[in-house]
Every structure is written in structure tokens, then in C-alpha cells.
Amino acid sequence: MNRTTFNKLVVPGLFSMAVSGYQRKAKEAIWKQLCTVKTSNRAYEESAYFAGLGMPRVKAEGTPISYDDQVQGPTKRWNHKTYGLGCRVTEELIDDSLYPEVPTEMGSMTSEIGASFAELFEVLVHDIYNNGTATTYHTAGDSLAVFSASHVLLRGGTWSNLLSPAADLSATSLQTAIDNFTTTKDDTGKYQIIKPRYILVHPNNAWKSYELLESGYDPETPNNSINSIKKWGLQPIVSPYYTDTDAFTLIADAPNANSGVIAFMRRKPKFANDGDFETGDLKFKGTARFSVEVNKPSNIYHSAGA
């Protein structure tokens, strides 16, 4: 930043100079609702899951009981990446700037860099959901897409967290997704007893989701039938970072500590500033270390939209 690119800052008469953007507060972060946030003190983290024991079997009189073994599943690694952003302000701009709204000192520049990191975390976590039907950027522990109709069960068979055929959000598609989601079995063939808590939608689908979740009567028929979807108590998460305008994703509490989307904060955003001796300029920077992956996506169910 210098007096050429910010020439209006040294011209008297301007009422104010508005900063492009706004400061995000922690409570406004959407990404924290879409994953489990953990801290890390290692270069990387790994997660593994396993299939538990099968069902007890009938024991005939005088015979030994049946024994079973647990089955280990795949291991997934979270490689923490370092992200950084900086800005340089010339000595002359600092001297001549007439407007305090422009960040030319540590406190205001920290807020600006911090807002950029807030945006980064939203994009990184939402990427799991936005590209979850492909293997381009992320995969589940079984090397399939995060949302797949053929996830591998460790004791044989497959399971699905992808609505097929894909459908736009409607009473019928949401009911089908809930039915499929809540009857999902784990790697041993036992029901997960899972209940969706949230439905993630793009703002274009917000109005439809409110109709489906809050209407007292079925919003898609004229028969005055009760809206049974309302009984599930789903809460909408409306996010502009969710890029597919007609998709929706159901999210439940992770059934165990190693499942679902997990974000590791290896180091929270850290800020520093220093001066350049030769030019008199001030340099500001922020860095953070972060990773987000999923090994067993058993608490998310997706429809890609028609």
C-alpha cells in the first residue's frame, strides 16, 4: 500500500474511507457447525476406525460360546498446511493518511487479516461438502468419494450416504433422505440409531427449507395433512459457501470421536508486524496451520440435486 494506489487517503475533504468487507465474529462462523473442531500439537494427525463385534449366537448346552474378532478399518491422515497473508504499508502513507478507517497500524491490520482467515476456514470446510461426490480433493477412508452409494463395510457389503437418484429439495426427497439416513447400519450390521440435526442448504433453497421444516401442514399438498417432517426438529444451516444451489445435506452428531468431518487447528491465526529499516515501511502478517478431512462420513447424508 502506498500513496499512489491509495491516493485519496492523503487528500483532505473526504468524509470517511470505508473498508471493503466486514469483520466476522466467532459466533457467526458457519464452518464450526459443519465439523468437529479439534486442536493438534503434532505435524499431522491420523484417525482409524474398526468394526466391532457381531451378534451373540445361540449356545447349545455343554458347548463353548462363540468368539469373534474386531476388524480394523482404514487410516486417514490430516496433513496440517500453513496458510499466510501479509500486507506492506509505506512510511509516507502512514505519515500522510488522514482517515483512521484505513488500516495502517497493528490493531486494524490484524482485524483485516483475521477476516481473511475467517473466510479461508469457511472455504476449506465447505469444500468437503461442495466437492464431496468426487475424489478430486478429498476422499473418505475407503478411498471413495465422501458421498458415495457404495462405501465399504468392514465386515462385508456396502452402505450409502448419497441419495440416488439425486433430487431437488422437496417433501418427498427429504423424507426419502431421512428414511435412508436413519436406517443406515454400521460395519457390524447394527443400526446406528442416528438422527439428523441439521440440513445444509444454499440461500436459494432457504425458502423451501423453511416451508418444509416449519409449516404445520404439508406445504406440498392441499389435503391439510400434518407436516410430519416438522417432528424431526431439523435446523437449517443456510450458507452462501455451499455452492450447489439445489443440493442439500443432512448432518447428525458424529457417532464416535473418529467419524464425520474433523478440522484440526494446529495453530490459530497468529499475527506479527515489523519495520523495514531501509524504506521505513511497515509489514504485517498472519499465519495459521489447519487441516480438514473425513475418514468415516457416517453422520452426513447428501443429495446432489436434480
Nearest in space to 195 (alpha carbons), one of 234, 252, 150, 154: 252
| CA geometry: angle 286, 290, 293, nearest 5 deg | 155
Lowest model confidence (mean pLDDT) among 138-142, 215-219, 233-237, 298-302: 215-219
Tens-digit pLDDT profile for residues 253-291: 998 888 999 999 999 988 888 888 888 888 888 899 999
Nearest in space to 296 (alpha carbons), one of 242, 257, 248, 266: 257
Please check whether residue 238 is in contact with residue 279, taking contact to mean a CB–CB distance below 8 angstroms: no
48/259 Cα distance (integer angstroms): 9
pLDDT band at 209 (very low <50, low <70, confident <90, very high): very high
pLDDT band at 108 (very low <50, low <70, confident <90, very high): low
**CB atoms closer than 10 angstroms to residue 72:** 11
The SS3 assignment for 173 reads: helix
**CB atoms closer than 10 angstroms to residue 174:** 24
What predicted TM-score, i.e. pTM, was given to this entire model?
0.85
171/219 Cα distance (integer angstroms): 8
Sheet strands (E) in the chain: 36-39, 44-51, 71-79, 81-89, 151-152, 158-159, 196-201, 235-238, 248-252, 261-275, 282-294, 300-303
Q: Residue 234 pLDDT > 90, yes or no?
A: yes
- φ and ψ at 42, to 5 degrees? -125, 170
CATH topology of domain 39-45+73-303: phage-related protein like fold (3.90.1690)
Q: Where are the domains of the chain?
A: 39-45+73-303
